[in-house]
């Protein structure tokens, strides 16, 4: 797989977000992993690092207006954005 240079992945702490982050992980790839649970995001980051990718963790709630923009600040634009954040209502 030709990994993108950089990706932003929301919902990266589990489910589809984690699965996509793992697929993007290969040497030279970088990702900013975004979600509410720092511990789960760190687990995803470790899975990526084990495959030679670099990962940055941002623990925040994307539902909070402005939180994502403020946290990403001057970070360079990604080649891929994965919007996998969500909740399950039962």
Helix (H) or strand (E) segment spanning residue 31:
strand 30-35
| Greater model confidence, 2 or 47 | 47
State pLDDT tens for residues 29-62. Answer: 999 999 999 999 999 999 999 999 999 999 999 8
Other Cβ atoms less than 10 A from the Cβ of 54: the count is 15
Q: What is the pLDDT of residue 75?
A: 83
Give residues with Cβ within 8 angstroms of 4, minimum separation 6.
Answer: 24, 29, 78, 79, 80
Q: What is the pLDDT of residue 50?
A: 97
Nearest to 30, CA basis, from 83, 78, 85, 68: 78
């Amino acid at each position: 797989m030709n990994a993108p240079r950089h990706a932003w992945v929301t919902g990266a702490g589990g489910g589809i977000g984690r699965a996509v982050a793992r697929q993007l992980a290969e040497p030279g790839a970088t990702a900013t992993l975004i979600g509410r649970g720092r511990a789960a995001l760190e687990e995803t980051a470790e899975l990526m690092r084990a495959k030679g990718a670099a990962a940055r963790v941002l623990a925040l709630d994307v539902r909070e207006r402005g939180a994502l923009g403020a946290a990403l600040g001057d970070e360079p634009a990604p080649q891929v954005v994965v919007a996998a954040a969500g909740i399950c209502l039962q």
